[in-house]
Each structure stands twice: as C-alpha cells, then as structure tokens.
C-alpha cells in the first residue's frame, strides 16, 4: 500500500481555495541525520596520518631532534684537542681557520640538504642515504668511489670513538688510583677491558631498529658534550686566572721549542701546522651522515628548510664552543698545550671534576657511535636483504620480551652482523692504539686526529 499523502484534497472556503495539510506524523517517515562517513572512515585520511608520501611510517623528527643529532655528531672529544691545534697555528691563524671551516661547512651542508629530494624540493623522490643522493646527482663510478670513502670514514670514526672512550674510562680509573695511593702507584693498566666493555654497550644499543627512535640518546649525548666542554672551558679559565696572563704567541709554537717529543724542527713545524688544519677540519665534519639525519625529519615544512635551520643553529653553537675551549686552553698552556686539554690539569686538582668530564665523554661517545654507525648498519642490512631475500635469518623479524618492558622487535641478522663488525673493529683499535703510542715520533697521529682521536 502506498503511503498516505501529506496533502489532503483542497476545499473552497468563502470563495477561496484552501489547501489542507495533514498535521499527523504517524505515517511520516522520520528523516535520519546524514552520517558523515567520509569524516569517520576515510582510508586515505588515516593513511596520510600514519604514513609519509613514500609509504614509510610517519617521520617525527623536528628542528630540535635534528639539532641534537648534528651536535652529537659534530662536538666530539676532539674539542679537547683544539687548544693543541691553535697552539700550532697561533692566535692569528688558529681562530681564523676555525671560523673559516665553520662557514665552509655551513655552505656545503646547506647544498647537501637540497639533495635529499630529487627534482622538486617538496614533492620529489626521497634519497634516504648519502649514497642515494650521490647516485641521483652523479651516477656512474662516482657512486662507488664516494661510497668507499664514506663507509671507510664511518668505520674509522667508529674505531676512533672506541679508543677515545676507552682512554677516558682508563683516565677515571687512574685518577682514582693516583688519589688513593697519593701518587706512589704508577697505576698502569690495559685498555682491552674497556674497549670490550664499550663494544658490549654498543651491541645493546645497536638493536634499536630505527634511527629515529634514538633521538633521546642523541639529546643525552649532546648534553654530555656540553658538560665536558664546559668543564674543560672552566678549568682553562681558572688556569688563566691563576697565571694572571694569557699565554701563547701570534704564530704558534716556535722552531727550537723543546717539547716532550723533542726539539721542534722546521719540518716538524710544517707537519704540526698541517695536522692542526686537519684536526680542525675534521672537527666540523658530519656531511657523511647529514642525509640520514634529514631522513628522520617530518614535513611540512619541507625537510630542507628544517635542516637548514638546524645546521645553522648547530654550527653557531659548536663554533662558539670550539673557540672558547680552544682559545682558553691555549691561553692557559700556551705553545705547550696538551693534546687532551683535561690531561693538562693532572689527576688531582680537582680529580672528581675531571672524573665527571671523562664520564660525560664516555656517555657522549656511546651516542655518537650510534649516530655514525647507523648508515653503515643500514647499508649492510639492505645489501644482505637484497642478496638473500628468501632467507629467514636475514629478513625475518622476531620479538624479544624485555622484563618490565614491552616486546622489542629485532632481526637475527642485524644483531649478528653488528656483533661481527665489532671484532673487526677491535683488531683495528689495537693497531690504532699502537700508532697512537708512536705518534709523536713518527707523525702518524695526524691520521688518528682525522678520526677524532686526541693527540698524545
């Protein structure tokens, strides 16, 4: 039966036609409110909230996380050797070279950040690594050449950080040993235990699956870098106040000066100056991991804009710290400034403050090691997954239940791959430690300085 009409037959009332409407509602169908299904269930909207334009999980990096990553990578324990570097160049050339390298690094980093996306800087295809950026812009054999240079550099930095961390751990042990014995015990010890300990710590942190999940580690490491830099700066200021004068010269260490390694000859003067230039240049170097850091940054705004601001802020901060630590250390010790600013103050006054600084160095190097090695790990994992795509050992993911915590997703191959890389590192660490002992006699410590190792 058809529904009853809402309009009744019209009638004539006083000569006028009157329309009659049924005011009853029992036969009228209630109009349901329209459900905005597009707002509630919109696969495209939910997809955009969870994933980026390349199908990967939404990146969460910000200006501050990128800044912390950069500062962690740039400000290393090499800041403590800048006083020695300025000591070789003098008051004129030393600070000038530091500012010059800062400007060059800022310019090149800005150019490199533009290479993160191919074509359009906002919607272009992403280059996830430094190598992919090289491939997109250069191609050919240049990719292999740049790759070899990059990964060898990262591998060398990892070795250098391990040695520097073990030296700081030994310094803590020796300072307490000297303090307990009153200086009567020479407190000789081996660095092997401390290298192994550092390696075990890095193996644990290397199980973190994604680079952007270690943002907190970079922030802690950045705080630690400021801690020991501030300690070195404070001790330098105190030493200058004690001397009541600024030491040093306009041209640096003079020919004929007697040092612990002997008398400085004209050839050694040239060699020392070149080493100082290399140490300052590598103190600013982080271009090998800039693209990887940028790949953690969210958008909008465009990644290169955030990275440009983070790079500018980071380089200003690091340059100010470098100038303060380097210049005050040189003013305190003059041309005979030590390779490690902290060791110039001995193990006594105040030994507890030096222990705090060395602990901060170790914590910082733990984070810096992860920042530098993540591209190396990613390269090996990607290459292996492509070569052995059907192997569960390489590609399968497992969950490990951590007590009092959530399950941690991990893969067997990355864990074993990282464990296998570190024994190779250990062999090179012993070789570099041997080079470090003979450095002042052979001039080979310039090689170590290029890997952020402090001269003796």
Question: How far, in Å, CA of 76 to CA of 72, rounded?
Answer: 7
d(CA 180, CA 119): 64
pTM of the entire predicted model: 0.64
pLDDT for residue 336: 81
* Of residues 238, 440, 439, 454, the one with CA closest to residue 333: 238
- Stretches where the chain sits below pLDDT 70 are 1-49, 52-55, 76-77, 183, 208-215, 218, 288, 343-349, 391-456
Helices (H) and strands (E) in the chain, counts: 16, 8
Distance CA 312, CA 20 (A): 79
- Cα-based distances in Å from 238 to 33, 179, 344, 413, 456: 77, 21, 13, 51, 23
Nearest C-alpha neighbor of 304 from the set 137, 138, 122: 122
- The pair of three-digit structure tokens given for residue 308, joined into one six-digit string: 């440009």
| Residue 117, beta-bridge partner list | 126
Residue matched to tokens 């075990």? 200
- Taking the C-alpha atoms of residue 20 and residue 5, their distance in angstroms, rounded to an integer, is 11
C-alpha distances (whole Å) from 29 to each of 32, 34, 149, 189, 433 are 9, 15, 77, 92, 88
Alpha carbon distance 413, 392 (integer Å): 9
Mapping DSSP to helix (H, G, I), strand (E, B) and coil, where does residue 229 land?
helix
Q: Do residues 385 and 395 make contact, with C-beta atoms less than 8 angstroms apart? A: yes
What per-residue string of b and e applies to 222-238 under the rule 16 or more CB within 10 Å gives b?
A: bbbbbbbbebbbebbee
Beta strands (DSSP E) in 311-402 are 397-401
Structure tokens at 120: 């359009």
Distance CA 405, CA 392 (A): 26
Place of tokens 């696969």: 43
The answer to whether the beta carbons of residues 255 and 264 sit under 8 Å apart is: yes
Contact assessment for residue 287 and residue 315, using Cβ atoms and an 8 Å cutoff: no
Answer whether CATH 1.20.120 is correct for domain 69-449.
no
Confidence at residue 447, expressed as pLDDT on a 0 to 100 scale: 33
Both tokens assigned to 156: 């060398």
What is the pLDDT, as a whole number, of residue 100? 92
**What pLDDT sits at residue 72?**
72
Q: Cis omega (within 30 of 0) on the bond before 350?
A: yes
Residue 1 confidence (pLDDT) = 46
Please state, in angstroms and as integers, the Cα–Cα distance from residue 430 to each residue in 340, 418, 441, following that order.
20, 19, 18
CA distance 10 to 363: 92
């Amino acid at each position: 039966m058809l529904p009853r009409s809402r309009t009744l037959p019209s009638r004539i009332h006083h000569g006028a036609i009157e329309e009659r409407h049924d005011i009853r509602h029992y036969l009228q169908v209630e109009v349901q409110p329209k459900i905005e299904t597009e707002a509630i269930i919109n696969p495209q909207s939910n997809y955009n909230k969870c994933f980026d334009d390349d199908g990967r999980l939404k990146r969460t990096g910000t200006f501050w996380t990128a800044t912390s990553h950069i500062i962690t990578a740039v400000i290393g324990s090499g800041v403590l050797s800048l006083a020695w570097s300025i000591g070789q160049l003098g008051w004129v050339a030393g600070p000038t070279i530091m500012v010059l390298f800062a400007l060059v690094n800022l310019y090149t980093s800005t150019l490199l950040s533009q290479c993160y996306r191919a074509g359009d800087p906002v919607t272009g295809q992403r280059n996830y690594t430094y190598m992919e950026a090289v491939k997109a812009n250069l191609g050919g054999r240049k990719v292999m050449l740049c790759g070899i240079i990059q990964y060898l550099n990262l591998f060398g930095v990892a070795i250098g950080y391990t040695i520097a961390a073990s030296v700081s751990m030994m310094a803590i042990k020796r300072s307490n040993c000297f303090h307990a014995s009153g200086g009567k015990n020479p407190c000789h010890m081996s660095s092997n235990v401390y290298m192994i300990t550092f390696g075990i710590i890095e193996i644990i942190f290397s199980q973190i699956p994604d680079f952007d999940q270690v943002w907190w580690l970079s922030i802690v490491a950045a705080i630690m870098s400021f801690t020991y830099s501030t300690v070195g700066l404070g001790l330098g200021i105190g030493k200058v106040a004690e001397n009541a004068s600024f030491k040093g010269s306009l041209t640096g260490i003079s020919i004929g000066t007697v040092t612990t390694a002997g008398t400085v000859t004209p050839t050694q003067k040239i060699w020392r100056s070149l080493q100082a230039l290399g140490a300052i240049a590598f103190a600013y170097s982080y271009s090998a991991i800039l693209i990887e850091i940028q790949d953690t940054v969210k958008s909008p705004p465009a990644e290169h804009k955030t990275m440009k601001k983070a790079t500018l802020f980071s380089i200003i901060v690091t340059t100010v710290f470098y100038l303060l630590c380097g210049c005050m250390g040189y003013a305190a010790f003059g041309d005979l400034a030590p390779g490690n600013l902290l060791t110039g103050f001995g193990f006594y006054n105040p030994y507890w403050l030096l222990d705090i600084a060395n602990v901060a160095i170790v914590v910082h190097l733990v984070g810096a090691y992860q920042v530098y090695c993540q591209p190396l790990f990613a390269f090996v994992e990607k290459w292996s997954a492509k070569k052995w795509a059907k192997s569960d050992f390489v590609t399968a993911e497992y969950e490990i239940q951590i007590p009092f915590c959530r399950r941690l997703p991990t893969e067997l191959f990355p864990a074993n791959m990282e464990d296998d890389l570190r024994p190779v590192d250990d062999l090179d660490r012993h070789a570099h430690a041997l080079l470090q002992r003979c450095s002042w006699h052979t001039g080979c410590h310039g090689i170590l300085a290029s890997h952020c190792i402090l001269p003796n």
